[in-house]
Chains A and B, each alone.
Chain A
Amino acid sequence: MESSWSSFGIRKVTFLRLFLGAVFIYASLSKIRFPLDFLKVVYNYRLFPDTLSNLIAIVLPWLELFLGICLISGFMLEGAILLVNILLISFFLAILLNTIRGMNVECGCFDLKENPSARISMIWYLIRDGILVITGLYLFKEVKR
């Protein structure tokens, strides 16, 4: 019984790891393809000085891609999960801060070329990122075991 529970736990961790990995790879593709559009999104958050925004727009898409690959392949998994959690919590705080400031900015989380009229509210962005944060924290807890 214990072993079946533990195998369920392992399968759950593997599933969540693959899910989060796929989400990160998907999120990176549009940003790598349209760097200037992503730069606008970073500027739009109005949280960082210009040079830091430029650096984020250059490095973050690749970081997301590599993290996705690491999560799926299991290569450097511990480090990847640490970074994934740092990123997801930062994204959550950035969206939360702009919600508090009353700025209804474009999330820029996934598809940068999405139809503007189809964009969703900041609350939905928070819920969506919140689910990913919980997934990330769960994986962090499991990987530390």
Chain B
Amino acid sequence: MGKRIFSLRNMIFQAFLILSLSFFAGMSVNQFRKQKIDLFSEDTSEERFRIDIKDAERLFFSKEAVFVDARPSYYYKKAHIKGAINIPPDKEIRNIRLPKERPIIVYCSEEGCGLSKELVFKLYALGYRNVYYLPDGIKGWKALGLPLESGK
């Protein structure tokens, strides 16, 4: 019995050592590499996907970007950015074909809505590298008086 307790303690001690070693190795290597991950930054992953509404507006009028509405179809039908396509959260995105050479701008309702970021990460995982999310959402777009449409 005493041996068993000792063995369990040994096991936990070893696990702790391996964890510590991994922590120090990971943190040290991370400091010196080009693709550094900033531990306390909320934007390490998200910053490169965020697009300013002014840039989105420019890409809209130059017709360079594809706009994607990430909200459920009910909201999309009520109003969406002119020309945007709808990819609601329940839709299987593996079969969707979007142009990889054009910027894809994803939006949802407003700041902090989450659906746009979620879709951007899914698209990125599927190989789309030119994807962005519009943090202001359709609310910010509407506030600037930019073109909307409804139906479809």
A residues contacting B by CB (< 8 A) are 32, 34-36, 39-41, 43-44, 46, 50-51, 53-55, 57-63, 65-67, 70, 76-83, 102-106, 116, 119, 144
- Which of A39, A53, A62 is within 8 Å of B22, CB to CB? A62
Give Cα A31–Cα B90 distance, bound, in whole angstroms. 29
**CB distance B35 to A35 under 8 Å?**
yes
Given known A36-B35, A39-B37, contact A59–B122 (CB-CB < 8 A): no
Q: How many residues of B contact A (CB 8 A)?
A: 41
A67 surroundings in chain B (CB, below 8 A):
18
What are the 6 tightest A-B residue pairs by CB atom distance, in nearest-first order?
A79-B14, A63-B22, A106-B125, A79-B15, A116-B127, A59-B26
Q: Indicate whether B121 reaches chain A with its CB closer than 8 angstroms.
A: yes
Interfacial residues of chain B within 1-33, with CB under 8 A of chain A in the complex: 7, 10-19, 21-23, 25-27, 29-30, 33
Would you call the interface of chain B mostly helix, strand, loop, or mixed?
A: helix
Does B61 interact with chain A (Cβ within 8 Å)?
Answer: no
Q: Identify the stretch in B39-47, B63-71, B134-142 within 8 Å (CB) of chain A at 4 or more residues.
A: B39-47
In terms of DSSP, what is the predominant structure of the interface of chain A? helix
A sample of 23 inter-chain contacts (CB < 8 A) reads A35-B30, A35-B33, A36-B37, A39-B37, A41-B125, A43-B46, A50-B44, A50-B45, A53-B45, A58-B39, A60-B26, A62-B21, A62-B26, A63-B18, A65-B22, A66-B22, A67-B18, A78-B14, A79-B13, A80-B14, A105-B125, A116-B126, A119-B94
